[in-house]
Structure 1
Amino acid sequence: MPFENPVTQRFSKNRKACVHTFENSFILRLIQNKDTIECPIAACKKKVYRNSLHPDYELLHHSRFMKFRDNITEAKEYFVKLRNDGLQK
């Protein structure tokens, strides 16, 4: 039974294509002048097709959110430290 795409509700036509996420310059350096390579993930034997590469917006959004959250946490810790230092004087 083929995999059903949850977004389009259609069945995948290319179950041999890899779905891993890679850093752009890394995967382009591996592919170079080829149209297809084997996935660089050790246990994955599926193919990575040049024409199927696309940005992973969900991962990008998640990484930006995590960076934002880390910045908020650092700012909070900074102001707590400032307040505590002021109370000790």
Structure 2
Amino acid sequence: IFASIVLLRIVLPTDGLGYALGLFSNVKMKPYVIATILGTIPFAIIFTYLGTLNVLYQIIGFVVAFILVGSLLTIGYHMKKKEMNKKKNF
């Protein structure tokens, strides 16, 4: 569940995920806090760094980030689709 929280912190808004985990799961406080830190601090550092760069570098950084996130989502979608097809064939 720890890895799931880290990944969800990257994708979902922090407030909504916090409420959902508090209401619908029995996640302990320590793993939740550590996963939250690991899921949010890297992006805080990246966005802070990008904010100090020139506008051209900011645009390039956001395009690269958009491509990376899009690629990860596409790969995840195809992996899930492949998994569903395997289950369907059995």
Report the structure number with the largest CA radius of gyration.
1
| Structure with the higher fraction of residues in helix conformation | 2
**TM norm structure 2:** 0.38
- Indicate the structure whose relative CO is greater, using CA pairs within 8 Å and at least 6 residues apart: 2
| Structure with the higher fraction of residues in strand conformation | 1
